Amino acid sequence: PAPAGLPGDPEPEEAVSDDSSRHGGRVRGFPHERGNWATHVYLPYIAQEEFLELLELLVSCARSYVPSLAAMEEFHLSLSQCVVLRYHWIEPFVRSLRERLAAFHRFFCVADQVKVYTNQNKTRTFIGLEVSAGHFQLLELVSEVDGVLEEFDLPTFYKDPSFHISLAWCVGDLSGRLEGQCLRELQDIVDGFEDSAFLLRIQWEQIRCKSGNKYFSFPLR
């Protein structure tokens, strides 16, 4: 549902802090400007107890290589980059997303390949589970989301994307420490985890869009 206070109401104030020490040293991808709302389209993943047990094993192993690694608190699979929307664009942007995504059905994918990622400006490093099955359906979704982004002259998603669920992160480009032996050990943990084949076969039931502090949900049929 559209949040209260969107059409016709004066633009709300957003609480803003660029003090990176208040959020783990993370650096803003673009400067904050009043009226700009950071916006992201994604598939939410609700972690079960078994998944959190696997996460604990993986993070514990990886911290022997990068002690500053922090586990993610929420999990998702991105269908867009983080883009900037003007406040008065939010309602038509969400309406267009809803129209384009209305025909999509629920589907499964498998996310079981451990991979190391860095963000574009190399300020953060991530450990993620890359999708090994279900890639085609994800590309179809991205195509529709990209169509909406193009309507608003916003950057589309990456070409040949590596769809993944991020598990843990650290500040800086520490990919060199996590790749190689560490990555092999992490993959062995995933492959050997009890019921991992069942656990990492994920059914997606809804798409979400986060814009500033507002959330919008698009259920899959």
By annotation, the residues acting in catalysis are 76, 164
Count of all residues that appear for the chain in the document: 221
Tokens of 64: 């022997």
The CA–CA distances, whole Å, from 19 to 31, 49, 82 equal 12, 33, 20
Which of 186, 181, 180, 80 shows the shortest CA–CA distance to 127?
186
Residue 25: HSE in the Cβ half-sphere, 13 Å Cα cutoff? 11
Report residue 68 as tokens: 């500053």
Q: How many CB atoms lie within 10 A of CB 114?
A: 24
In this structure, are residues 11 and 87 in contact, taking their beta carbons and an 8 Å threshold?
Answer: yes
Distance CA 57, CA 203 (A): 23
